[in-house]
């Protein structure tokens, strides 16, 4: 809910493009988009949501933030082909001009170079320097919390916690020099071994955290909004976040952090 006492600054609308919202939407990752929408609306910031699906060439110019959610292996396969064919060039251009690109789980894997399942290699768009392999062994499932350090993270910047839920068969390895999004406090993260979770290159971010991610970590939603609008996070009006704080704490408790 808005904090009516705070001064209202005007911003241009946040223009979001959801990639394959019908296919890459496991665990209701659409909730992440709703959080962005509400937090903009509560601050009087416009919010424009578009989507780009199979067979649609991506014109990246009208967007500030691109979102691709999680998906089953078979849906990822379909999307991967289309991503390369119709959206890779646009996404690279968008990332190069500083637009936010956020990938969750299956979407995260597709932002890397490849996702290998046995003999098959599903290509990714290569925005993040990483590869994913579906190894033998159990799926990596459970509550997860990571320690994140983001520049410009707003008031109380420095180390922050992201908490959520992960469920992936793929194990992701970051190339040398590829920054992780955070360090695993509880859970598996990229591969259950390295202690790294997610990846970040500038405003391109990937993570295995569903939860869904943003309802349980609204500080991160605000950070993304600020990055996408190219403003410092502290310029966004504070909101009355009692319920949101509870949601965050409950996700942390579930992970044991
Ligand atoms: N299909 C991918 C895997 O199992 C991603 C799953 C997901 O998005 N939750 O690794």
- Domain ranges for the chain, please list them: 14-255
Give yes or no: 168 in active site: no
Instruction: Compute the distance between CA of residue 87 and CA of residue 76 in angstroms, rounded to an integer.
Output: 14
Q: Which two tokens stand for residue 251?
A: 């996700």
Helical H segments across the chain, by residue range: 30-41, 73-82, 88-96, 106-111, 213-216, 218-229, 242-255
As a whole number of angstroms, the distance between CA 50 and CA 232 comes to 25
Q: Which CATH number fits domain 14-255: 3.40.50.2300, 3.40.50.880, 3.50.50.60, 3.40.630.10?
A: 3.40.50.880
Q: Is 234 in the pocket of ligand 1 (CB under 6 A)?
A: no
Tell me the per-residue pLDDT of 128-169, one tens digit each, with 9 for 90 and over: 999 999 988 999 999 999 999 887 655 556 679 999 999 999
71 lines ligand 1 (CB under 6 A): yes
Instruction: Judge contact between 149 and 181, C-beta under 8 A.
Output: no
Ligand 1 centroid to 166 CA: how many Å?
Answer: 9
Give pLDDT tens digits for 156-208: 566 799 999 999 999 999 999 999 999 999 999 999 999 999 999 999 999 99
What average pLDDT does range 208-235 have in this prediction?
Answer: 94
pLDDT of residue 29: 82
> How high is the pLDDT of residue 108?
98
- DSSP 8-state code for residue 241: -
> Ligand 1: which of 30, 76, 122 to mutate, judged by most atoms within 8 Å of the beta carbon?
76
Reading the block at residue 100, the tokens are: 């936010």
**Is 105 one of the annotated active-site residues of the chain?**
yes
How high does pLDDT run on average in the chain? 93
In angstroms, what is the span from residue 172 Cα to ligand 1's centroid? 11
């Amino acid at each position: 809910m808005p904090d009516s006492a705070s001064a209202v600054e005007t911003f241009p609308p946040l223009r979001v493009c959801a990639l394959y919202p019908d296919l890459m939407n496991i665990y209701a990752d659409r909730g992440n988009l709703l959080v962005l929408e509400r937090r903009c609306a509560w601050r009087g910031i416009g919010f424009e949501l578009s989507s780009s699906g199979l067979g649609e060439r991506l014109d990246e110019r009208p967007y500030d933030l691109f979102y691709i959610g999680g998906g089953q292996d078979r849906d990822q396969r379909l999307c991967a082909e289309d991503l390369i064919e119709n959206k890779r060039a646009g996404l690279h251009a968008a990332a190069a001009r500083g637009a936010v690109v956020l990938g969750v789980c299956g979407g995260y894997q597709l932002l890397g170079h490849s996702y290998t399942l046995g003999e098959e290699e599903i290509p990714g768009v290569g925005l993040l320097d990483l590869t994913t392999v579906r190894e033998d062994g159990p799926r990596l499932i459970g509550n997860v919390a990571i320690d994140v350090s983001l520049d410009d993270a707003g008031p109380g910047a420095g180390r922050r916690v992201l908490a959520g839920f992960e469920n992936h068969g793929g194990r992701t390895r970051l190339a040398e020099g590829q920054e992780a999004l955070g360090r695993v406090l509880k859970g598996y993260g990229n591969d259950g071994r390295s202690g790294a979770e997610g990846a970040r290159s500038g405003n391109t971010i990937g993570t295995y955290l569903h939860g869904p991610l943003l309802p349980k970590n609204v500080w991160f939603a605000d950070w993304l909004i600020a990055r996408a609008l190219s403003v410092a996070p502290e310029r966004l009006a504070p909101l009355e976040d009692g319920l949101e704080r509870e949601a965050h704490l409950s996700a942390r408790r579930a992970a044991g952090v």
